[in-house]
Amino acid sequence: MIGRLNHVAIAVPDLEAAMAQYRDTLGASVGAPQDEPDHGVTVVFIELPNTKIELLFPLGEGSPITGFLEKNPSGGIHHICYEVDDILAARDHLLAKGARILGSGEPKIGAHGKPVLFLHPKDFTGCLVELEQV
């Protein structure tokens, strides 16, 4: 059902410093910040030859990243994202297998302009999983 790894998301306490570290220290291609108000984050994508890194920074009050950074003040891996061909079929399959979908269960549009869903970390060995339709 799942396809390739789309990205690994890292929550960061200082977006500019994290961007500079990837760009200046690691020599990576770092995109521009983009606000995602529906998800409460500002994201920056770092393009790698085989996948992407997504830097996450809180946007506005009540950002889901704020709580994560309170528990992990230095930042850290927040979630991994896998591609799926059909997000509704994937959702229905996962629900039938007993997995929990976060939120309403209806896909939202993610940072790439494609439908996404998040799966409860307790169902996936403590890892928050994002599915993105390709």
Domain that holds residue 104: 5-133
Helix, strand, coil tally for the chain in percent (to 5): 25, 35, 40
pLDDT of residue 120: 97
pLDDT of residue 61: 86
Number of domains present in the structure of the chain: 1
Q: Which of 96, 56, 95, 99 is nearest to 78 (CA)?
A: 56
pLDDT of residue 3: 96
108: which strand partners? 116
14: three-class secondary structure by DSSP: coil
Full pLDDT tens readout for the chain, 134 residues: 899 999 999 999 999 999 999 999 999 999 999 999 999 999 999 999 999 999 999 998 899 999 999 999 999 999 999 999 999 999 999 999 999 999 999 999 999 999 999 999 999 999 999 999 99
pLDDT of residue 119: 98
Active-site residues: which are they? 130
| CATH code for the domain in which residue 125 is found | 3.10.180.10
**Helices of type H across 21-120:** 64-71, 87-96
Provide DSSP, 59-85: -STT-HHHHHHHHSTT-EEEEEEEEES
pLDDT of residue 116: 98
